[in-house]
Homo-oligomer: A and B are copies of this chain.
Amino acid sequence: MPDSIADLVETPESGDAATSLYQRILNDIRDRIVSGEWEPGYRIPFEHELTEEYGCSRMTVNKALSQLAKAGLIERRRRSGSFVRRPQSQAAVLEIHDIRIEVEALGLPYRYELMSQIKRRAGAGDRDRLGSSVSGQLLALKCRHHAGARPFCVEDRLINLAAVPEAADEEFIETAPGPWLIGQVPWSAAEHVIRAAAADAETAADLGLSAGAPCLVIERRTWSAERPVTHVRFTYPANAHAVVARFTPSDS
């Protein structure tokens, strides 16, 4: 496994309380590396030293170190020890954008349209999107955002009613769910997945494209206090949209 450094990031659904020992060891070492306390080339303590420090077995320490090695943060050499590798780069911050502002910035009139709204019990597919911990009622919305006369993007959203019960009484006819949610729930963490995909028949019809046309898909999962709040998938026609992220190493 391997992981990428992204995998080393604590995901919101993994609480802090329930962390296992090997995870704690891993976090401790990772923190010392990314904070710069242990610089590249530094030899981190041997397994048997960490074993003593944490009062655990070598297997537990080994699990933490193996995963750090797979993540590329350290390099392990038999007989020599484990060494910090060159510093990892920073995570970029993507802004949570408001589509209205985006459209109006283009100088086009913005229009929002609710296409469907269904309240239902969470199924397996929903758990894929919101997180496996979700059970109970949720709200499935499909909306369309227009720029001038043309569709700008379609929005396919799930809202966890256990986290946001007020959403059940909201109509979402005038207000888009994104801005409404921001006013309701303070989010504590988010995850973006950005990818390209060919438009399926439904999406193509919604956006006025031909099936198979390239689209940019942005999915966002949001948590509030460790609890999944919403999953949303925006589908934009290619060329209508790009994501920009700027960052500097000094940010962290």
Contacts and interface: CB of A to CB of B under 8 A. Distances in A.
Interface of A: 1-11, 23, 26-27, 30, 41, 66-72, 75, 77, 85-86, 88-98, 101-102, 104-105, 107, 124, 128, 132, 182-183, 187-198, 212-217, 236, 238-239, 241-249, 251-252
Instruction: Please tell me how many copies of the chain the complex holds.
Output: 2
Given A91-B247, A216-B196, A71 B188 contact: no
A26 B2 CA distance: 10
Contact of A243 (B195, B197, B238): B195
A212 B198 CA distance: 10
Given A196-B216, A214-B197, A96 B1 contact: no
Contact of A5 (B2, B10, B104, B191): B2
Nearest to A195: B242
A5 B6 contact: no
Nearest to A91: B95
Nearest to A6: B70
A187 to B, nearest CB: 7
A6 B98 CA distance: 13
Q: Which 9 A-B pairs have the closest CB atoms?
A: A6-B70, A1-B4, A2-B5, A1-B5, A2-B6, A2-B7, A214-B214, A1-B67, A6-B92
Given A7-B3, A95-B90, A248 B189 contact: yes
A80 B107 CA distance: 26
